[in-house]
């Protein structure tokens, strides 16, 4: 697997996340490969499985996984559709539109997404320093909160430049769902009479 030369933007990652989400729901074989952690960056129905890893001399402790329920993800998609028309925007073929028209639509999507984030999440930076600052990561730093990029050699302490402060959600305020609510209906069909 080759290393990408440029990290994907937020919008690219968001598009990839939604694409993977819906492909997982619609393609059982793809979902099985994701579950078994065999999906690479360009995986598809004809992709070869990843080579078997070399056995480690000492078996690591098993990782306990939490089962993710789709209701919260579906509820977030519903909010993003209602406030930002995100699903409509993502499903629109933009090839026939001028860049100015796409920019105007993106502004509406951006404002709606920002409103959903503000109303339903408290989001804070992972690091307090300004981007571009020099930082030192001491031994024992939280590897789940900080990703090392570039020429990663040796062990901590690591000295580098903060290229992105990161984000973490300190509070989530999704509305409660009625027990009989069908969360898979992201936006009801509209019939004008």
pLDDT at 128: 95
Q: How confident is the model over 79-131, as pLDDT tens digits?
A: 999 999 999 999 999 999 999 999 999 999 999 999 999 999 999 999 999 99
Read off the pTM.
0.60
Residue, of 9 and 135, whose pLDDT is higher = 135
Q: Residue 38 has what pLDDT? A: 55
Mean pLDDT in residue range 13-33 = 68
- Strand spans (E) along the chain: 121-125, 134-137, 158-161, 167-172
pLDDT at position 140: 93
**What pLDDT band is residue 8 in, cutting at 50, 70 and 90?**
low
Say yes or no to pLDDT of 44 above 50: no
Given a cut of 90, whether residue 61 has pLDDT beyond it is no
Kindly list the domain boundaries of the chain, sorted by start residue: 9-45
């Amino acid at each position: 697997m080759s290393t990408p030369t440029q990290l994907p933007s937020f919008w690219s990652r968001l598009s990839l996340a939604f694409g993977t989400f819906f492909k997982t729901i619609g393609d059982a074989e793809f979902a099985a490969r994701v579950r078994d952690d065999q999906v690479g960056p360009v995986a598809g129905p004809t992709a070869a499985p990843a080579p078997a890893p070399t056995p480690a001399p000492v078996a690591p402790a098993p990782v306990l996984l939490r089962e993710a329920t789709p209701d919260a993800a579906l509820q977030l998609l519903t909010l993003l559709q209602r406030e930002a028309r995100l699903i409509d925007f993502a499903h629109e073929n933009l090839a026939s539109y001028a860049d100015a028209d796409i920019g105007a639509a993106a502004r509406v999507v951006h404002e709606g997404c920002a409103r959903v984030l503000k109303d339903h999440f408290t989001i804070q930076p992972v690091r307090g320093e300004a981007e571009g600052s020099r930082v030192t990561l001491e031994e024992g730093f939280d590897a789940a909160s900080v990703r090392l990029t570039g020429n990663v050699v040796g062990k901590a302490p690591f000295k580098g430049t903060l290229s992105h402060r990161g984000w973490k959600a300190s509070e989530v305020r999704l509305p409660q769902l009625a027990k009989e609510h069908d969360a898979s209906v992201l936006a009801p069909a509209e019939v004008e009479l």
